[in-house]
Amino acid sequence: MKNSGVCPKCQSTDIKINSLGSWGNMTAGNFYRCTTCGFTEIWSGKGHQRDMKILIGVSIGGCIIALGMLVYFVMNS
């Protein structure tokens, strides 16, 4: 329904899109609701979740490098 824009239940093209829980410009997901029969599809924002994991991974990696540098300076002092 998201890609075709057609309701799989009644073949209506009258689809309404609603955003679900957004923080700033980040969206948790979208509701695709057929206004004719009420059929609803929910699409979660998987792309945003992956971006957040990458961001967390980078910050943890940065902490390990900082800790390693601290140990290096202590050992050489």
- CB-based contact 48:27 (threshold 8 Å): yes
Should residue 34 be labelled a site residue for Zn ion when binding is judged by CB under 5 A?
yes
**Element of type H or E holding 57:** helix 46-75
Should residue 15 be labelled a site residue for Zn ion when binding is judged by CB under 5 A?
no
Residue 32: phi and psi, rounded to 5, are: -115, 105
Should residue 30 be labelled a site residue for Zn ion when binding is judged by CB under 5 A?
no
Q: Which of 17, 20, 26, 37 binds Zn ion (CB under 5 A)?
A: 37
The two tokens of residue 42 are 């929910």
Q: Which of residues 48-77 bind Zn ion (CB under 5 A)?
A: none
Contact footprint for Zn ion (CB under 5 A): 7, 9-10, 12, 34, 36-37, 39
